[in-house]
Amino acid sequence: MNDDYTPPKVWTWEKENGGQFASTNRPVAGPTHDKPLPVGKHPLQLYSLATPNGQKVTILLEELLEAGKSADYDAWLIRIGDGDQFGSGFVEVNPNSKIPALMDHSVTPPRRVFESGAILLYLAEKFDAFLPHDPSLRTETLNWLFWQMGSAPYLGGGFGHFYHYAPTKIEYAIDRFAMEVKRQLDVLDRHLADHRFMAGDEYTIADMAIWPWYGRLIRGGAYGDAATFLDGASYTSVARWEAEIAARPAVKRGIMVNRTSGEPSGQLWERHDASDFATRTQDKLDPQS
Q: Where are the alpha helices (DSSP H) in the chain?
A: 52-66, 88-93, 116-127, 135-153, 171-192, 205-210, 216-218, 226-229, 236-246, 249-254, 276-279, 282-285
Instruction: Please tell me the predicted confidence (pLDDT) of residue 26.
Output: 85
Domains of the chain are 135-253 (1.20.1050.10)
- 30, 34, 40, 42: CA torsion to nearest 10: 20
Instruction: Please tell me the predicted confidence (pLDDT) of residue 25.
Output: 81
Q: Which residues pair with residue 257 across a beta bridge?
A: 268
Q: Which residues pair with residue 48 across a beta bridge?
A: 77
Instruction: Please tell me the predicted confidence (pLDDT) of residue 77.
Output: 98
What is the C-alpha to C-alpha distance for residues 197 and 244, in angstroms, rounded to an integer?
Answer: 10
What is the C-alpha to C-alpha distance for residues 86 and 124, in angstroms, rounded to an integer?
Answer: 28
Instruction: Please tell me the predicted confidence (pLDDT) of residue 14.
Output: 78
Estimate the crossing angle of helix 116-127 against helix 135-153, to 10 degrees: 160
Contact 23, 81 (CB under 8 A): yes
Give the strand pairing for 111-114 and 73-77. Answer: unpaired
pLDDT along the chain (289 residues), means of 10: 79 73 81 96 98 98 98 98 96 97 98 98 98 98 98 95 94 97 98 98 98 96 96 98 98 98 97 98 82
Instruction: Please tell me the predicted confidence (pLDDT) of residue 22.
Output: 64
pTM of the model: 0.95
